[in-house]
Amino acid sequence: MWDNFVYSINVILPVFILVALGYIFKRTNFLTDGFLTTADKLVFKVMLPSLMFLGTAKSRMEDSAGQLQLIVLACAGITLSFVLCGLVFPIFVRENDKRGAMIQGAFRSNFSILGVPLAAAMFGETGVALMAMLMPPVTILYNVYSVIVLSVFAPRDTKPSLARTISAIVVSTLKNPLIIAVILGLPFMLLEIPLPRFAEDSLSYLADATFAVSLISLGAGMSGMALVGKIKYSLAASLVKVVLLPALMTVSAYLSGLRGLELGLIFVLFGSPAAVASYIMAKNMKSDGELAGQILLLTSMLCPITLFSGIFVMKSIGWL
């Protein structure tokens, strides 16, 4: 029991110490807005794609052949989460902008920023490589479903046309650096082409810096948010995001036959807090950006507790 407790602490604590440091650095003005804007671009367009490219390029078919079930269950779980949230929240919430923000905040995970370092802490390079395999289909689904829900539940005077909605989905998918990086890595995996030493080392230096910079930036980005005025909406969406959906999807994956590494990745995928992109998209598509920001903040505050609890329980009962 004690070993499982220590294991769970060692997985969770380093990640959220960096997030807390980012928050403190920003509150004390040690980090500037200009630096954070540049850091976010560097992480999303350079560092994280380098990590995903390496994870894909260094994988081999014999390592990933048995992971099709993981990908299928992850995509099915995201689809089910999207449908459930899309059906339930509109029953209790009347305003369209709040509906869109709550649905997206509840089903879309920040798995690329928080999920990948957690997978690395739990399972090492194997976990990162599997996350790289999950990245393209999961990212595409999140983009597609987010555009759909924010378009359907847009304020009536700003509803986009069907053509504009489809265009937004296609553009956001094709321009996503993470998807591009994984696609570029596929030939190296499929043909088992080794990377030149200088290229692998250079990309590794960038990839190694990903976790620290991205987590500090995440914490700093939350320093200007506050839980004021819409707490009942943000709390409802947050509890669905970090408690209900992770429990439902992890148990479903277990009953479907997943164990160990793959089951742990399902929990990390669905247990991660709301995505930063959900806040940005909500603002850009005329949804309730303030509520989306509160959901991002509250899920990020709650998930150290829920992720620790989930990992501890799964380790204790032999699921990990």
Question: Tell me, what's the pLDDT at 177?
Answer: 86
Question: Tell me, what's the pLDDT at 247?
Answer: 97
Question: Tell me, what's the pLDDT at 162?
Answer: 64
Question: Tell me, what's the pLDDT at 299?
Answer: 93
3-state secondary structure string across the chain: CHHHHHHHHHHHHHHHHHHHHHHHHHHCCCCCHHHHHHHHHHHHHHHHHHHHHHHHHCCCHHHHHHHHHHHHHHHHHHHHHHHHHHHHHHHHCCCHHHHHHHHHHHHCECHHHHHHHHHHHHHHHHHHHHHHHHHHHHHHHHHHHHHHHHHHCCCHHHCCCHHHHHHHHHHHHHCCHHHHHHHHHHHHHHCCCCCCHHHHHHHHHHHHCHHHHHHHHHHHHCCCCCCCCCHHHHHHHHHHHHHHHHHHHHHHHHHCCCCHHHHHHHHHHHHCCECHHHHHHHHHCCCCHHHHHHHHHHHHHHHHHHHHHHHHHHHHCCCC
Question: Tell me, what's the pLDDT at 131?
Answer: 83
Cα separation, 287 vs 284, whole angstroms = 8
Q: Are 317 and 264 in contact (CB under 8 A)?
A: no
pLDDT in tens, the chain (320 residues): 888 899 999 999 988 999 899 999 999 999 888 888 898 889 888 988 898 888 888 877 665 555 788 999 999 999 999 999 999 999 999 888 899 999 999 999 988 888 888 888 888 888 888 887 888 889 889 988 988 898 888 776 666 666 777 777 777 777 888 888 888 988 998 888 999 999 999 998 988 888 888 889 888 887 766 666 788 999 999 999 999 999 999 999 999 989 888 999 999 999 999 988 888 788 777 788 889 888 988 998 899 999 999 999 999 999 98
pTM (two decimals): 0.88
Closest CA to 314 of 279, 273, 262, 274: 262
Q: Are 142 and 300 in contact (CB under 8 A)?
A: no
Residues 31, 32, 37, 43, Cα dihedral to 10°: -10
Question: Tell me, what's the pLDDT at 66?
Answer: 57
Q: Are 270 and 246 in contact (CB under 8 A)?
A: yes
Please report the domains of the chain, with CATH numbers, ordered by start residue: 2-316 (1.20.1530)
Question: Tell me, what's the pLDDT at 160?
Answer: 63
Question: Tell me, what's the pLDDT at 88?
Answer: 95
Q: Could you identify the residue written with the tokens 């995201």?
A: 78
